[in-house]
Chain A
């Protein structure tokens, strides 16, 4: 039997190779570098890997060739399993920006008196002698940096996959490190371990559904490749039940990852229990990667079967927005509130997914739903990372203080930090002059022009409900007098790692809200998915 050597497009796939290479180097560093120097080496390696991959992504993006009729640019690489096209490169860039923010937040040590945010020794029992010894010896898990790089690699592969098998492997490569990272908090370790357990069991359950969906769609189409699936859907076959069941099961896996109702139950628990730096990273980056994968799977592989999956998406989008917005109103913990608000944002993004896909069906100057969703992901990512980064700074004697009562009157004590946090909340609420407004505008118009007006109506209604709980929180910070004997949180002084991240997110949110043109143009230039 002849063995044919596969061709790998090393130049175009270089961002992936850099990230995975840096992750593997990180594992080697863990084995060979002395413990006192490990933290510095690991942080520099992770940051260098992410920045290097970002530069490579920009270079790849500038040199993509036009394909076919000019609607898309890029190439199908690695024997059909990885697709490097405009949207994929845009998502890579976005994921890498938030990965850098994540690495910066992971490396923060000043907030907790020189201690890192991660447990000194995860294997030591909470409250045990071993834990105290590990803390006194200044131990720190520097494995988190290779882990986060592996997760970033999986996230980059996820929206760029060209067949179902690659998509499944990428899903696991991004999830497994995140399960571990969630369980590594230094403080409130029982909550953190519980979050990891819940995330892991539910995540494994949902990826089981995803995999069975892969098998069913493969049974229908006879191939894993998205182009072959597209052809099979176009030609039709008598086994349509296989296809429909397969789409449904694949949706369970993907909708779980983005936290859409009715698969949102893990979101608040995991966001609350995980170390806040991890929450900040995964709330933005996982959502970006998973929405990239949803867009590719539904537009590229199942685009011809749109009339079958759109009603399901309508229902899920409506349910997600309502559940997210309504349940966020009754929360008493800021991390949980932000988690439910991120569920509502998932609903808004799904509204965008329902929009018009072909540029030819649109008037001049209108964006397609792919571009609207890409822009919304950009705005949402900056706001949520900035907000969670501020949550790490607001502390009391027991570390972070996420309960509402502790934040009472924070605006009087630290007007700048509270003001920036309020600005992020207003952006998430979609008030004009913030990036969130432009993002919401974009996704609502694309859904409207596709005739999904009931979904848009619900979206506007839930935006109004959402404004209620954001404004209530701003009132709590600025206009509520604390009780005399109330325990209050104060803002700890962070190192530049956190403050620069917050400042960068705030500036990005402001700029995207005032002059969204350049980024909208960039999202428009990425073109379409290629097959």
Chain B
């Protein structure tokens, strides 16, 4: 039981660190998806531990939400890439004071 939670926390950390250190917006976004999937693993593991279905149902909802997020996110990254010819998050720096 604990192993799954530990694995999920490792995956979550890899995702979170990836968001912070990677430059390409697509890779950053993949790391966010990794965080969501780590949460799914934790939800399912806890559902097994508590013996109820709520966590597993939640995992399905999270998958749908993640799919919707992909649609919106890729649309935004696409428009940025088309107008700048680059998907690097460091290049998006017009807004600052």
Q: Residues of A at under 8 Å CB distance from B?
A: 122-123, 125-126, 165, 168-169, 172, 176, 179-180, 183, 189-191, 193-198, 200-201, 204-205, 208-209, 211-212, 214-216, 218-219, 222-224, 268-269, 272-273, 327, 330-333, 336
Contacts and interface: CB of A to CB of B under 8 A. Distances in A.
Given A125-B83, A205-B35, 15 more contacts: A168-B65, A183-B76, A194-B80, A196-B80, A197-B92, A198-B92, A204-B32, A208-B35, A212-B38, A212-B42, A214-B58, A218-B55, A222-B46, A223-B52, A272-B95
Contact of B42 (A123, A126, A194, A216): A216
Interface of B: 5, 8, 12, 15-16, 19, 25, 28-29, 32, 35-36, 38-39, 42-43, 45-47, 49-50, 52, 54-55, 57-58, 61-62, 65, 68-69, 72-73, 75-77, 79-80, 82-84, 89, 92-97
B16 A219 contact: no
Contact of A219 (B12, B46, B62, B84): B46
B43 to A, nearest CB: 5
B39 A212 contact: yes
Contacts of A208: 12, 15-16, 32, 35-36, 39
A interface, over-half SS: helix
B32 A197 contact: no
15 contacts: A126-B83, A165-B58, A176-B72, A179-B76, A180-B75, A183-B79, A190-B83, A193-B76, A205-B19, A208-B32, A208-B36, A218-B46, A218-B54, A219-B5, A330-B97
Query: Among the interface residues B28, B32, B62, B95, which one has the most CB atoms of the partner chain A within 10 A?
Result: B95
Contact of A215 (B42, B84, B89): B42
Given A198-B95, A215-B55, A176 B68 contact: yes
Contacts of A179: 72-73, 76
Nearest to B35: A208
Contacts of B42: 212, 215-216, 219
Nearest to B84: A190
Contact of A211 (B46, B62, B84): B62
Contacts of B69: 172, 176, 204
A215 B61 CA distance: 13
